[in-house]
């Protein structure tokens, strides 16, 4: 091997050793940074979570429906708008849209007890009571309202 070749090989080993040392420094630094995140000040973590929070949120409130004949339908409509419209007004996640007679025909044929059970206990992608905190009577009133619009 010539003198020039040995110089090139020596320099190659030096560069390789320097890159290996640099890699070790990066790994050690990365581990110390990740360990520091575990010990993060709760106020800083809360601030970060607040900045990363979604821009919009869906809020569902408890709307009471009365059993009176005159106010029942209006209250059920309001409760539907507040709690069920996000899916049943848009057809999200395959939910039958309010007023879509074709989509409701087979469901209505199952009978109201089945529809009540699905609405209260949840069915397929729909969580129990649509994810709301409504009482069973209000959910039944909403089902009655939706069925009346689907006939």
The per-residue pLDDT for range 7-44, each reduced to its tens digit, is 999 999 999 999 999 999 999 998 887 765 567 777 88
pTM beyond 0.85, yes or no: no
Q: Report the CATH number at residue 139.
A: 1.10.760.10
Q: Is residue 143 part of a domain?
A: yes
Mean pLDDT of the 52-64 span:
63
Q: CB-based burial of residue 71 (10 Å sphere; 0-12 exposed, 13-18 middle, 19+ buried)? A: exposed
The Cα 48–Cα 42 span in angstroms is 10
Q: What's the total number of domains in the chain?
A: 2
Q: Are residues 106 and 138 in the same domain?
A: yes
């Amino acid at each position: 091997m010539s003198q020039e070749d040995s110089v090139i090989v020596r320099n190659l080993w030096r560069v390789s050793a320097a890159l290996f040392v640099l890699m070790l420094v990066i790994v050690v630094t990365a581990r110390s940074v990740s360990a520091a995140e575990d010990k993060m000040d709760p106020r800083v973590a809360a601030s970060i979570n607040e900045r990363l929070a979604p821009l919009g949120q869906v809020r569902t409130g408890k709307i009471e429906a009365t059993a009176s004949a005159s106010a029942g339908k209006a209250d059920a409509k309001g409760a539907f708008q507040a709690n069920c419209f996000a899916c049943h007004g848009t057809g999200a996640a395959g939910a039958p849209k309010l007023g879509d007679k074709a989509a409701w025909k087979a469901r209505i044929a199952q009978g109201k007890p089945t529809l009540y059970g699905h609405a209260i206990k949840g069915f397929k992608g729909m969580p129990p009571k649509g994810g709301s905190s409504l009482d069973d009577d209000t959910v039944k009133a909403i089902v009655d309202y939706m069925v009346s619009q689907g006939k």
